Each structure stands twice: as C-alpha cells, then as structure tokens.
Structure 1
Amino acid sequence: MDGVTVLRHLPFNLHLFRLPALLLLSLTVTQAAAQQNEEQEQEEAADKAPESYEYAAPSYRIERSKLKITEPVSWEQLQRDDLSHYLKPATVTPLLAGPEDFITLIKNELTSNSKGVAILLPDWQQGATTPNSLNYLRKTLPDQGWTTIAVQPYEKPPQYPSIALKPSEQEEENNTSLEQYRQKLTAMMTAVMEKAKTYPGMFLVIVQGSHAALLTDLYQQEKVPLPNALVVLSSYMLTATENEAYAKTLAQTELPVLDLSLKRDHPLAVTNARLRLAYADKEMKASYRQRILNNFATGDYPEQSLLREINSWLRYEGW
C-alpha cells in the first residue's frame, strides 16, 4: 500500500493535511532508499577490498625487504674525503699511527733560510683547514721559512663529557674516555714528529682548544717527543678539575710556552687563561708569556696580530 492509498482511508478532517503528509512520506521513502543503496555499495566495496589487499600486500612486503639502510658517514671520514678531493694530491700526506692512519697537509718552506717545522693541530671536531687562525698560519709561515704540517685530528670521544648523575661516576667515565683518546693522540703526534725530523731546523707546535691540555700532559709525561717551543690558542678543558690540572701541568713543564687567547672567546677559555697565569706566576715559570688579543667576532683570531705575537715571542726566545 503506497502513501496515496493510506491517505484515502483517513478521516475527513485529516484530508486537509494530506498534501504535506504526502510530501513528508515521499521524502522519508526517498531517504530510506538512498540509505539502503549506500549500505549496499559499502558492502560491495568491503567484499572487493580483501581481493585488492591480497594482490597488493605481497608486492609491498617484497619491495620493503629490498631496502638497504646504510649507516651515516662519520664526521672524521667526511673531513678526510673533503681534504683528499679538494686539495692537491701533493699537499695531502697520509701517515700511519699504529693500526690507524690519518691525514696531514704539508707545505714546504719557500725561502733560502729554513727555520724549521711548524706543526698545526686544531681542536677536535675541527678540520685541518677549518680554523681561520691555523689555516692562515699554514699558508703564511712557509713564506717566512717554516715548513708547515697541518694535522687532521680525530673526533672527540663520544662519551665525553660524562652525563652520569654522581660526580664520582662522571670523573671515572671522563678519565676512561680521555685516556683512550690520549693513546690515539700519542701515536698520532709521535708519527708527526718522526715526519718533522726529516726536515732541518727547530720544531714549533701550535695547538688549539682542548688538544692543548691533552698534549701538554703527554709532553710532561714524556710520552711524545718534545718540540722546541709550544704555542697554545684558546685552550681549555670542559670540567673544572681538568682545567686546574692543565694549569698546573703547563706551569711545571720546561717547554717555552706562548699562551694566546681572545678578548671575545669561549667562556671557559677566558676564565682558565687567568688560572694558567696564576699558576705560572706561582711556579715562577720564566719561559711563559700570555697575551690576550682584541677581536671583533667571537673566536676569530686577527691574522696579523696573531702572526706578530708568534714572531716577536720566537725572537725573544732566541729563534
């Protein structure tokens, strides 16, 4: 029975409303039919979905299994690759330190009077050509009679400084990490000194950052052949205990030392420069000079001032 037949059997007083009721009933029937069609389409799609999934899933899993995720290249390897790629092959000289090799950049002196060899060691996480100060010296010193050997350093120990909760655990972990790194640094600098001895003249080591503290300790323990003079640039360690030990060692070493830092420098470099000067005065170290250079950009050495300080100090020392 459709909507019109139902309306014909209604009482007389309801016939006045049969037209709106007819429209409402027709709308209801239409909506019910549309909903039924939508449900039917969803059921058909659900019936087809497993077939398409069965077809696509195996192919997807096979392609995913073919993916090979390579490990990221280490910072040290990137530096080595850049130096080998962008510099002349005659400049890049690999040296062997125990079971590992490392890269040095050698530039021969360009004068008739050879003064010696200047060994340039940047801070860790720096490249052999990255620090503006050392790279400037690498290019300039050969014109003044120095053969320069710029060393590409190893990476900083991954677990240094320690993030342990207890101070005793921090100190133990730091000592372990630094001791392992000192062994690698000992082999590296011993190989560099052996290479330097093939050239005439004196040996000057110019070292930056934390390497200055580590290398001074190796010199004091006589684990590495001693140079004739040592220049340290913005040197510091990352903990107060290590900085104090470094200041004491530097004051007690017999090496002539030029200690340079900047007006605008790393906060630890500025603070510990005063500490090193105090210990040098306490030990009455005669062959020690400290200078603080004026600069505009933080950590950026003024090239002419840097070269002038080194040359004047060497002349004072008699070289």
Structure 2
Amino acid sequence: MGKSSLGKILGLIISMIGFAAHGMQSPEAALNDIQHSQFDDQYEVLLVGEKQIPLVISESNTAITRGVAVLISESGRNPFSEHGLSQLSTSLNNVGWVTMIMPAPISGFWPALDETTTNNQAADTSSQTPDTPTSVAVQETLTKAATSQIEQPAFELHEQQIIQQMQAVTGKTRQYNGFFLVIAQGTSAAWLTKIYAENKLDQPDGMVSISPQWPDRSYNQQLPKWVAETQMPYLDVYSAWDTSWAKATVSQRKIQSIKSLKMMYRQRELIGQTMDNQQFARLGKEIYGWLTHMGW
C-alpha cells in the first residue's frame, strides 16, 4: 500500500476518533436516538433517496405565523442534543416562527478536528496512558490532519446530498404561509452559502450563517466571495469560540460583502461563553432583531 493511500486511511480513522470523542454522529444515529427518546408524534422521518433523516417540527407559539425556519446543523453534530441547534427553536417559536430541525449529511466528508480543539482535548486527557487514542502521537497527527484538503469527489458528494436534503425539506415548508428562512451552522453554513451563491437551489427569503467554515484552506478562502455573491438577506454570526477555520474568514466575509454592495448583510459577534441555553437565547434575539429591521 502506498504512502498516499495509507495517509488517507489514517486520516479517516483519525477523523472518526474525533467524531466519537466529541459526540458527533450520523443522521441515522440521530434518528435512532430520537426514536428511543420521543413519541412518534414528536418527529417525522424525511426520506432523501434511500436515507431516512429525522425532522423535528415545532409550531409557532403566536396567533400569527411569520414563516418557517429550517435549521440544519454542523455536519456530524447532533442538533437535538443539549448543546445542539434545536435549543434555538423555542426562541423562534415564541416570536412567530415554525421551526424544522434536521442533522446534516456526513457522506463523503468527515470533518478533521481544528487545531485549537485538538489542543484543548489533549489538555483534558493529559492523565490518559500513552497507548490511548488521545496520546501525544495521535494528537500530533490530528493537528496535521486539520490542514489536509477535502478531496474534490468527497466535496461534491457532500454538496449534492445537502442539496437533496434541502429539496426534500422545502416541500414541507410549502405547507405554511410566510417567509422561508434557513439557519445553518459550520460546514453546512459554508456549503449552503456556496450552493445559494451558485443558484443550485432556489434561494430562501433569508439565511442565518453561524460560524461558516471548511477544514480546508483552498475552499475556505473562497467563502467570503460566495457570501458576497448570495442574493438573499444574510446574517453572518461569529464568536470567540469558533474554530480557527471560521475565524480566518470573518473580516473578509464582511469586507467582500461591503465591496459588492450586498444588500441586507449584517455581521454580528455572539458575545459570551460557548453554546448553551443562554447563548442560544442571545442568538435568538440577534436573529429577531435582524428580521425586525427588515420588516419581517
């Protein structure tokens, strides 16, 4: 076996270790969790090709519904967990939005750990023995893996699956009147930004992008251009807890959008601790303020 093939296999193994260590999971695993923890009428199953994707729909808590917000998580992150994107749902429901929450696909793409995350994990596991998966040798490999490129076939596969998943959920949104808002996180935010900029999907009425990033320098550098090329209103959210990949493009995302005279673009920093209930409440207020400013 050549060094190149061995490296790819090692990279996949390392990324999978990272997923397990950080509670990451596939949409199938998320569906299994929901089936064991909730009643049948608390979720739906979205069929995307031959895949079953869990979809949790929460109705508006107001007399007048403003529209539907589709929330799609970072690839591999469980949006229904304690620190998942579903924590944003209540804030939106209370101001007149129906929410539809689903995990992102993982096929063709296992995000490598960010260097900062790797270093923090190494500090948290310093008491472990040298032969554990989080030993110094593995941590060094994880750090190097974070700079590796996403191969083009994997990139295209993942993008196509996000497109198919969004097409499937859009059919559900048509059951409701009002605006169509997309809220995406991490790699999903980056991919959807690119997809909408290139008109590969019908654009929503607005998009909230939370810490958009790809763990790949060549793709990540193009993200500000794609943000500027989107036609819909765009709320660009970042925080001190973002990965180094997301932080790397913060200023350029704003600069490129201003240069292109992009309308209804707003960039906001989410101040405070990492994502918890209180932080999601702050994010809900930021989104509400932006939507109110636009007259929604």
SS state at 1:295 partner = coil
- After TM superposition, the structure 1 = structure 2 runs for residues 1-319 of structure 1, keeping only pairs within 5 Å, are 75-130=26-81, 132=83, 134-155=85-106, 157-158=108-109, 174-297=151-274, 302-319=279-296
Residue 118 of structure 1 deviates from its aligned partner by: 0.8
| Structure 1 or 2: more helix by fraction | 1
Unaligned runs of 5+ in 1: 1-73, 164-169
Q: How high is the sequence identity, in percent, across the aligned residues?
A: 27
Conserved in 2, the CA contact under 8 Å of 1:244 and 1:275?
no
Match of 1:38 in 2: none
Q: RMSD between aligned alpha carbons?
A: 2.1
- Name the amino acid aligned to 1:142: N
Conserved in 2, the CA contact under 8 Å of 1:117 and 1:201?
yes
SS state at 1:205 partner = strand
For the structure 1 residues 242 and 83, does the alpha-carbon distance in structure 2 shift closer, same or farther, using more than 3 Å as the test?
same
- Name the amino acid aligned to 1:277: K
Length-normalised TM-score, structure 1: 0.69
- Name the amino acid aligned to 2:36: H
Length-normalised TM-score, structure 2: 0.74
Residue 111 of structure 1 deviates from its aligned partner by: 1.5
Higher relative contact order (CA 8 A, sep 6+): 2
Residue 139 of structure 1 deviates from its aligned partner by: 2.6
SS state at 1:247 partner = helix
Residue by residue over 1:258-277, the C-alpha shift from the partner in whole angstroms, topping out at 9 and shown as x without a partner, is: 00111232222222111211
CA separation in 2, counterparts of 1:99 and 1:222? 25
* Number of residue-to-residue matches in the alignment: 237
Residue by residue over 1:74-126, the C-alpha shift from the partner in whole angstroms, topping out at 9 and shown as x without a partner, is: 74432211011112211211112223231110111121111110110010111
Conserved in 1, the CA contact under 8 Å of 2:71 and 2:182?
yes
For the structure 1 residues 280 and 223, does the alpha-carbon distance in structure 2 shift closer, same or farther, using more than 3 Å as the test?
same
- Name the amino acid aligned to 2:65: S
Conserved in 1, the CA contact under 8 Å of 2:68 and 2:100?
yes
Conserved in 2, the CA contact under 8 Å of 1:105 and 1:128?
no
Residue 303 of structure 1 deviates from its aligned partner by: 2.9
Conserved in 1, the CA contact under 8 Å of 2:70 and 2:101?
yes
Match of 2:137 in 1: none
Conserved in 1, the CA contact under 8 Å of 2:88 and 2:281?
no
CA separation in 1, counterparts of 2:77 and 2:241? 19
Conserved in 1, the CA contact under 8 Å of 2:210 and 2:238?
yes
SS state at 1:104 partner = strand
